[in-house]
Amino acid sequence: MLKYVDTKKAPAAIGPYSQGIVLNGIAFFSGQIPLSPETGEVVGSTVEEQAEQVMKNIQALLDSQAASFTDVVKTTCFLADMKDFAAFNEVYAKYFTGKPARSCVAVKELPKGVLCEVETIAAVKEA
């Protein structure tokens, strides 16, 4: 059974998509950029500051499904500049201690001109 993720503790979708979908115990969360859930504004000007906000947003999505960072099985990370790879990794490593599978690519541009975005897939308990 398909279940849509909807939490006020993470930024609302800014387009025709959901915050995530849970199917058969797997949560597919939409990419998170460093937006404040309260204001919808970009938080931070450095990749480290922005990555911290991204992680807070991911935490909120995981919390909404009674899951944690150790339940994440795959991430896809997008950077506006691969020169930020090491700095981004420092923040990422603090949260993803379970070392899920990962892809990390540089892209030409991200929504709202942000420096990073992270998409996650996690194993969750079915409600």
CATH classification of the domain holding 91: 3.30.1330.40
Q: Residue 5: how many CB atoms within 10 A of its CB?
A: 20
Phi, psi of 82 (to 5 degrees): -65, -15
Calculate the average pLDDT of the chain: 96
Query: What confidence tens digit (pLDDT) does each residue in 26-67 have?
Result: 999 999 999 999 999 999 999 999 999 999 999 999 999 999
Q: Helices in 4-127 by DSSP H: which ranges?
A: 47-64, 85-95
Residue 115 DSSP one-character state:
S
Domain, as residue range, for 44 = 2-123
Q: Helices in the chain by DSSP H: which ranges?
A: 47-64, 85-95
Q: What pLDDT was estimated at residue 1? A: 85
Chain mean position to CA 36: 13
Q: In the chain, how many domains are there?
A: 1
